[in-house]
Amino acid sequence: MIVNSTQIRKNESEQGERMSEFRRTLSTFGDTTPVKHPYDRGFDFQNCERNKRLMQDGNLTIKAMKTGTTICGVVYKDGVVLGADTRSTGGTIVMDKNCEKIHYIAPNIYCCGAGTAADTENTTALISSQLELHRLNTNTESRVVTAMTLLKQMLFRYQGHISAALVLGGVDATGPHLYTVYPHGSTDKLPYVTMGSGSLAAMSMFEQGYKDDMTEEEAKKLVQDAILAGVFNDLGSGSNVDITIIKKGPNGVEVVQDINSIKPNEVSQLRDQVKRNIVTDIPRGATAVLKSTFEKFRPELVVEEATPMEL
């Protein structure tokens, strides 16, 4: 048998190239660096710089999303009262008439959310799981300031792209605490706070009725009035009023949730307090008829030709 030496060298060269390619493939298995594709798809926060340049050149206009909600909270003598409406909207359409906006964070901490429903629910769920792991590791009660710090650090990391405006309240070993957390990560600690599109109307009720060392009933009534003010003065707020009371009890922190504490058919008393102007009550016949014309309606008859069905 005659063996061609040129063919043997060619086969050995091809085999060597295949082995080199195989070794390179094995070496990349442990590499966790993301592969950069020339046509990357999906949302990327690095596009923020690109969008800024496009806006400066006038080639891009980003429209702000209008969200609607009224949430608030107040600190009273023994704890914190949180309140929220229950309307969820998509543009000008009411998507959910009984949406829960007061989210569980810890056994002694709750959080009201305004903004995009998915962002508020998943943000609070993430922080709640982190605090649960912290309690299991330390065997201690969660502090309200810890939840606030985790929330503000997470939201600041995304520079406001997570639409979650939060009212955080709770009671821990240092007493009752109430915070606001804005979507960009800034926070405030105040005795009473409001957030959402109906926050201005709710704040007017707080500034009028707040006082130091309120009782639980006074604080609950004030929060209900604040949420109702947002419901009646903001189209993005409506439906029922949810209340959550967090207070220090003899056996630790107690949480009392009053879901749908005020329903739409129970707000007639608030409407009765509004004094309508007598000018709006115009008696029948007070407006003179200057001219009247009557025409007989004759519908237009349309005859359509049709092809008979073949049998």
Token readout for 136 is: 């299991």
Q: Which of 18-22, 109-113, 233-237, 297-301 is the least confident region? A: 18-22
Q: What is the CATH T-level fold of the domain 76-272, as seen in this structure?
A: Glutamine Phosphoribosylpyrophosphate, subunit 1, domain 1 (3.60.20)
Residue 22 confidence (pLDDT)? 64
Domain segments of the chain as ranges: 76-272
Residue 180 confidence (pLDDT)? 97
Residue 124 falls in the annotated catalytic set: no
Confidence band for 278, pLDDT divided at 50, 70 and 90: low
Q: Do residues 227 and 241 lie in contact, with contact meaning Cβ atoms separated by under 8 Å?
A: yes
Question: What are the pLDDT digits (tens) for 215-267?
Answer: 999 999 999 999 999 999 999 998 899 999 999 988 889 999 998 888 765 65
| CA 165 and chain centroid, separation | 7
Residue among 28, 32, 69, 180 flagged as catalytic = 69
Token readout for 241 is: 């009023």
CA–CA distance, 219 with 187 (Å, rounded to integer): 23
* Strand-strand pairing, 192-195 and 252-262: unpaired
**Residues in CB range of 177: below 8 A, 6 or more apart:** 75, 80, 144, 145, 148, 169, 170, 171, 189
Confidence band for 39, pLDDT divided at 50, 70 and 90: very low
Quickly tell me which residue has 């957030």 as its tokens. 195
279: number of Cβ within 10 Å: 6
Q: Do residues 225 and 207 lie in contact, with contact meaning Cβ atoms separated by under 8 Å?
A: no
Residue 43 φ/ψ region, left for φ over 0, alpha for ψ in the -120 to 50 degree band, beta for the rest: beta
